Amino acid sequence: MNRFKCWVVLSRAKTQKGFTLVELLVAISITGLVISLAGSGLYAIMKANQRSQIETADRLELEQALAFMTDEIKMSREIKTDSISSLTTNNHFREASGIDLPQPILVLYPALNSGLTDPIVYYLAEPPNRSVWAGSRVIYRWGPTLKQNGNYSDGKGNDVTQLLPGAPVKYYNEVLVDRISNVASAQAKISCESSYSDAAPIVTSRLGFYACIAPDKKSVKLWMYKQPSASAKSQSVNALVVTRSN
C-alpha cells in the first residue's frame, strides 16, 4: 500500500510540473503580438472615428454658414462683385484689422425698405493674427447685426426700420466660417454658365468660396469648400439663391 501511495504521488508530481522557459517565451511573444495587433486596430478605429467627427463638424459648419448667407441674399435687392477699391470709395467698407488682401465675393445691396444704405460684404481673407480662427482662408461678413425678428440692428439694439432715414448704423467684421480651402481639387470643375457670367473670384483664381452671378444681379450660384489640410478630405456645399426684395 505504501508503494502504491508513493507511485501516485510521483505520478501527480510529474503531471503537475510547470511550463518550460521556451514555452513561456513563446506564450509571451504570442500574447504581445495579439495585444499589439489589437492596439493597432483600436488606434485605427479611433483615428477613423476622429476623422469622421471632424468631417461631420466641417459639413455642419458649412451648411449653417450657407443657410445664413442664403437668408441674407433673399433679403437683398441686388448682388454684385464690387472690387475693394470700389467698396472703399463709394461706401464705408473697411476690412478686418490684421489681415491682408481681402477678396470680395458677394456684395449684397439691401432692400430699399431695410433702412440700410451701405451694402453687406462677404469676403475671403487669411485669418487675423493670433486668433482662434484657422486657415488657410476664412469667410468674413461685413455688415450690421440682426435682431431676433430678422431686421437689422443699428448696433445699439434698435431696429433700423424704426429709425429716421440716414441714422447711423454700425457695421462689424465677423468671421462666418474658417478653414476655407484654397487647394480642393474639386474646385477645378466649377465653371460659370453663360447665363451666370459674373464670377468671383475670377476663373483663373480658384479659392474655397466661389460665386457665379447672373447679369441681372438677382441670382447667384454659390460654392464653399472647407478643408483642414492639403491632405485631408474636403467638405463642400453649394446652392442657387434668388433675391426676393426690391
* Element holding 107 (H helix, E strand): strand 103-110
Residues 112 and 122: their CA atoms lie apart, in Å, by: 20
The boundaries of the domain holding residue 185 are 44-242
* Element holding 62 (H helix, E strand): helix 21-74
- What is the pLDDT, as a whole number, of residue 4? 47
Mean pLDDT (whole number) for 24-51: 74
Q: Is residue 33 in some structural domain?
A: no
Q: Which of 9-13, 189-193, 195-199 has the highest average model confidence (pLDDT)?
A: 195-199
Q: Where are the alpha helices (DSSP H) in 75-111?
A: 84-90
Question: At residue 181, does pLDDT exceed 80?
Answer: yes
Structurally, how many domains does the chain consist of? 1
Q: Is residue 25 in some structural domain?
A: no
pTM: 0.79
Q: Is residue 21 in some structural domain?
A: no
133-169 pLDDT per residue, tens: 887 889 999 999 999 888 899 999 999 988 888 889 9
Of 67, 75, 71, give the one whose Cα is nearest residue 245.
Answer: 75
- What is the pLDDT, as a whole number, of residue 108? 96
**Strands 198-200 vs 209-213: parallel, antiparallel or unpaired:** antiparallel
Q: Are 234 and 51 in contact (CB under 8 A)?
A: no
